[in-house]
């Protein structure tokens, strides 16, 4: 791949458009000087650096996303229903536990390996972010129960409706 750029000075490159003469074809194909709307020359997935966003293409780029979620703070020791209260209606994004749990935190609504409803329990001392990757409550209403009043307001549930 051959690429030649004519520039007067580095400062001019930073402040004004530059003249381009070169070729992007292997073997020295025809010279092209076409810049796209973002002043990129022949930018494709093959010419972008690893991790570089190709915003000029809807097909050869990654999409920048912002993860959005509803938040519910667990403030009691009885079961808190998250979402609509039905099976398959909620994505559990994660739990943010502010202070180490003094009791357990039980999460119901998921199935075990045999497809039977099973409660997942976070043990005493759990702390930090617990990522559930948008898991869907396939075995019933998604409920969360923290067993100790001392954990009230220390557990935030991040979820999305399905």
Helix, strand, or coil (residue 42): coil
The CATH number for 105's domain is: 2.60.120
User: Tokens in use for 126?
Assistant: 């759990």
Establish if 116 belongs to a structural domain.
yes
**Predicted local confidence at residue 67, as pLDDT:** 79
Residue 103: inside a domain: yes
In a domain? residue 74: yes
How many separate domains does the chain show? 1
Residue 65 within a domain: no
pLDDT in tens, the chain (162 residues): 344 444 333 444 444 454 444 444 455 544 455 555 666 655 555 566 656 666 676 666 666 677 789 999 999 999 999 999 999 999 999 999 999 999 999 999 999 999 999 999 999 999 999 999 999 999 999 999 999 999 999 999 999 999
Q: Where are the beta strands (DSSP E) in 8-127?
A: 19-20, 70-74, 80-82, 90-97, 105-111, 117-122
pLDDT in the model for residue 8: 38
Is 51 a member of any domain? no
Q: Is residue 155 part of a domain?
A: yes
pLDDT on residue 3: 42
The verdict on residue 124 lying in a domain is yes
Q: What is the pLDDT of residue 7?
A: 39
Measure Cα distances from 38 to 53, 61, 144 in Å: 13, 15, 49
Q: Give the range of the structural domain holding residue 79, as residue numbers without chain letter.
A: 70-161
User: Is the model's pTM score more than 0.85?
Assistant: no
Bridge partners (DSSP) of residue 111 are 117
pLDDT value for 19: 47
Is residue 9 situated within a structural domain? no
């Amino acid at each position: 791949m051959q690429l030649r750029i004519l520039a007067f000075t580095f400062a001019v490159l930073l402040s004004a458009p530059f003249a381009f003469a070169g070729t992007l074809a292997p073997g020295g194909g025809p010279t092209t000087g076409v810049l796209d709307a973002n002043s990129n020359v022949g930018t494709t997935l093959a010419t972008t650096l690893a991790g570089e966003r190709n915003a000029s293409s809807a097909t050869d780029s990654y999409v920048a996303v912002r993860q959005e979620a509803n938040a519910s703070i667990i403030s009691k020791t009885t079961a808190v229903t998250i979402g609509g209260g039905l099976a398959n209606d909620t994505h559990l994004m994660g739990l943010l536990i502010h202070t180490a749990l003094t009791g357990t935190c039980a999460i119901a609504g998921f199935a075990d390996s045999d497809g039977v409803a099973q409660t997942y329990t976070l043990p005493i001392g759990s702390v930090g972010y617990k990522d559930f990757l948008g898991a869907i409550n396939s075995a019933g209403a998604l409920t969360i129960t923290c067993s100790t009043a001392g954990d009230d307001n220390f557990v935030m549930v991040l979820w999305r409706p399905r």
